[in-house]
Each structure stands twice: as C-alpha cells, then as structure tokens.
C-alpha cells in the first residue's frame, strides 16, 4: 500500500484485521490516522497530518505522483472538517440550508453574540442589518467534460443556494434584458451576453454592508444573466 505523509511517499505492506465482527476497513484506517483514497480495496492512503498541512505541502512540493487521489481526498477531508467544526458528525442527516457557513460575527444575532433584555426587541435601530448585493462576471466556468461525474458534498449547506432550488427558479424566471443609456456599457453587455460554451457566467451574492461578510445560502452562479439571479439571491 502507498502511504503518503509529510516526509514523502512510502510503500509498505498493510494488513487490516479481518476477525469476525471487526470494524470495516475504512474505519480501521481512520482509527490509525489514515484517509484512504477509495473505500473499495484502497491502495493509497494519506495521513491526517499531510491533509491538515495540505496547502503548505503543496506549496513546497508543487506536484505529487498521487495528485488526482490527493485532490479527491482533500475535498472529502475539508468537508468532514467543516462538519466537525459546526458540530455535525459525518453521518448526520439533520443539516439545513446554510448550516455549514458562518454569518458576520459583528452584526447582532440573538443567541449568538447578543442577549436581549425584557424591554428590547429586534425592531430597535441598533439591531438593524444592512445588506448589499453585487456580482462578478469574471468568475466564469466552462461546461464540464463529464457532468455525470460531479459530486456535490455540501449542496446548499454553505454560502451557495442549493442547486435544485436554483434550477427550479431559473426554469420559471423570465429573462429580462437590461438596457443602458450608454453606448457601450461593459458590465451590462457582459451580463446579457449569450455564452453557450460556459456553464457559469459569473457569481453573485449578498453581503453585510458594514463588514463585508457573506450571508449563508445567499450566493448563486449566474447562468442566464444578472437579472434572473437577483430574485433568487434576495429570496434565498
């Protein structure tokens, strides 16, 4: 088996326990600090240490002879760590939209950073939230070569709106072209441009106006222009 650690790549013979009623192979690996590259007859494992230090390891080494496996495992590892940080187990099914994202730590949030007295309500001016909405039309993405291979690890659980909800909105939304009084308004032209080779034409979302923090479950990928995305952002 190939074991990849911060010290390098090691090829060692590994035998897991096969006694009756023993733990599954992947759980045995996890108990010893190894993350398998696959869960069906794994031949490559990464140590928890190399995954926690992935960014530094990648900066120093530049490449890896198990680069494809490393990319897949690091995405799984990031997802598990995010769930752990938010108090969920990897088998938890009780997650709701936006549960894996944190809102602005400074804006008033009852039960998180403020405690209301008996005479106060959220209608008080000092508890008012202010938001702004903006988009980036340079964050483009081509259509994937194998779309059926795409796996969503945190669909709608973070800052992005869930794909099914957004897809349903796009199917109903009317595509209204924005007109500009300028002869060649670049931002408007980019928003209205038909780019058939692109899966996504940009990204937009809602942020806290005072501190610039993104709002959980309030970001979308632009697919049919800015106008259609705005409605979903505002009602997400």
The per-residue pLDDT string of the chain (236 residues; one tens digit each, 9 = 90 and over) reads 888 887 778 888 888 888 888 888 888 889 989 999 888 788 889 898 888 887 666 656 655 556 777 888 888 888 888 888 888 876 667 788 888 998 998 888 887 888 877 777 777 777 888 899 888 877 777 777 777 777 888 888 999 998 888 888 877 776 665 555 665 555 555 555 555 677 777 888 999 998 889 999 999 888 755 444 455 455 54
What distance in Å separates the CA atoms of residue 137 and residue 202, rounded to the nearest whole number? 4
Q: Choose one of 33, 57, 85: the last residue of a domain.
A: 85
Q: Are residues 48 and 132 in the same domain?
A: no
Interhelix angle for 67-85 vs 54-61, to 10°?
160
- CA-based nearest residue to 204, from 152, 135, 139, 153: 135
Total domains, the chain? 2
Residues 66 and 151 in one domain: no
Is 46 contained in some domain? Answer: yes
- Residue 93 inside a domain? The answer is no
pTM greater than 0.95 (yes/no): no
Same domain? For 132 and 229 the reply is yes
Residue 113 included in any domain:
no
Q: Are residues 229 and 171 in the same domain?
A: yes
Q: Which domain holds residue 218?
A: 125-235
d(CA 144, CA 155): 18
Task: Look at residue 6 and tell me if it is in a domain.
Answer: yes
DSSP state of 181: S
């Amino acid at each position: 088996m190939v074991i990849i650690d911060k010290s390098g790549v090691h090829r060692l013979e590994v035998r897991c326990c096969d006694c009756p009623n023993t733990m599954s192979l992947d759980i045995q690996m996890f108990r010893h600090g190894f993350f398998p590259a696959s869960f069906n007859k794994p031949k490559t494992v990464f140590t928890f240490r190399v995954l926690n230090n992935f960014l530094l390891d990648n900066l120093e080494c530049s490449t890896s002879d198990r680069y494809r496996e490393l990319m897949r495992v690091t995405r799984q590892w990031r997802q598990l760590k995010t769930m752990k940080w938010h108090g969920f187990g990897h088998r938890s099914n009780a997650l709701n939209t936006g549960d894996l994202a944190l809102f602005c730590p400074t804006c008033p949030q009852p039960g998180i950073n403020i405690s209301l007295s008996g005479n106060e309500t959220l209608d008080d001016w000092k508890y008012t939230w202010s938001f702004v909405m903006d988009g980036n039309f340079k964050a483009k993405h081509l259509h994937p070569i194998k779309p059926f291979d795409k796996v969503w690890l945190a669909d709608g659980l973070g800052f992005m709106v869930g794909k099914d909800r957004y897809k349903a909105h796009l199917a109903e939304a009317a595509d209204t072209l924005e007109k500009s009084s300028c002869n060649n308004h670049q931002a408007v032209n980019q928003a209205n441009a038909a780019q058939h080779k692109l899966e996504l034409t940009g990204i937009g979302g809602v942020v806290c106006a005072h501190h610039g923090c993104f709002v959980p479950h309030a970001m979308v990928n632009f697919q049919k222009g800015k106008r259609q995305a705005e409605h979903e952002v505002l009602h997400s």
